[in-house]
């Protein structure tokens, strides 16, 4: 590697508070991580966090926006989504009833990631998610349709 090159890479994107931006940030994440085994999980995570920013904060207002950063080193991806604040509650893992259609997103993120951290206040919150090669991804159906055991969900710090 060239002496002026680093194995660490950081990308950032500021998205207007529009629903179509969630699709754009998902595609952007896949493009940046095109050669990473974490690309699909990261795209799902950034979609959920971007949607949450639009729905639960002032990011979804006419002049709102949200900020996405992606930090990549060999074997690790760190995603952070920052909203513009104004939300009624701090992001948290919920336990919705079976009939409820919302409230599972951060639980899904916690299951996919090694670490999830929420920081900030009413003026803006950042959800930071780390995925690395030591993480055992949730089980997917095998060729025979049988599911293997899933790891316990990660806690949110």
Q: What burial class does residue 18 get, using C-beta atoms within 10 Å of its C-beta: 0-12 exposed, 13-18 middle, 19+ buried?
A: middle
pLDDT at 143 over 80: no
Q: How many CA atoms lie within 13 A of 27 on its CB side?
A: 6
pTM given for the model: 0.77
Beta-sheet strand order (sheet of 9-16): 9-16, 65-73, 76-82, 124-132, 115-121
Mean pLDDT of 87-104: 66
The predicted-structure confidence for 48-83, as pLDDT tens digits, reads as follows 999 999 999 999 999 999 999 999 998 999 999 999
Q: Which structural domain range is residue 45 located in?
A: 9-132
Q: Is residue 3 part of a domain?
A: no
Look at the chain and report how many structural domains it folds into: 1
Whole-number Å distance between alpha carbons of 137 and 157 = 20
Question: Residue 52: which of 156, 127, 157 has the closest Cα?
Answer: 127
Residue 142 has a pLDDT of 39
Cα–Cα distance for residue pair 153/99, rounded to 1 Å? 21
Q: Is the pLDDT of residue 156 over 80?
A: no
Longest dimension (CA), the chain: 56
pLDDT band at 88 (very low <50, low <70, confident <90, very high): confident
Q: What local confidence, expressed as pLDDT, does residue 139 receive? A: 44
Q: What is the pLDDT of residues 3-43, one digit of tens each?
A: 666 677 899 999 999 999 999 999 999 999 999 999 999 99
Is 140 contained in some domain?
no
Q: Report the C-alpha gap between 87 and 58 in whole angstroms.
A: 7
CB 92 within 8 A of CB 156: yes
pLDDT tens sequence across 106-128: 888 888 999 999 999 889 999 99
CATH value at residue 73: 3.30.565.10
Q: Token pair 């529009």 is at which residue? A: 18
């Amino acid at each position: 590697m060239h002496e002026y090159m680093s194995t660490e890479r950081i990308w950032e994107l500021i998205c207007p508070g529009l629903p179509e931006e969630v699709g754009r940030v998902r595609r952007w994440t896949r493009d940046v991580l095109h050669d990473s085994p974490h690309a699909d999980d990261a795209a799902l995570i950034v979609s959920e966090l971007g949607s949450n920013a639009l729905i639960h904060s002032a990011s979804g207002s006419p002049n709102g926006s949200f900020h996405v950063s992606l930090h990549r080193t060999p074997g690790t991806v760190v995603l952070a989504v920052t909203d513009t604040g104004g939300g009624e509650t701090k992001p948290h893992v919920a336990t919705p009833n079976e009939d409820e259609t919302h409230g599972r997103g951060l639980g899904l993120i916690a299951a996919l990631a090694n670490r999830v951290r929420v920081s900030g206040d009413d003026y803006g919150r950042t959800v930071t998610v780390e995925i690395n090669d030591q993480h055992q991804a949730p089980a997917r159906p095998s060729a025979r349709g049988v599911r293997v055991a899933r790891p316990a969900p990660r806690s949110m710090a």
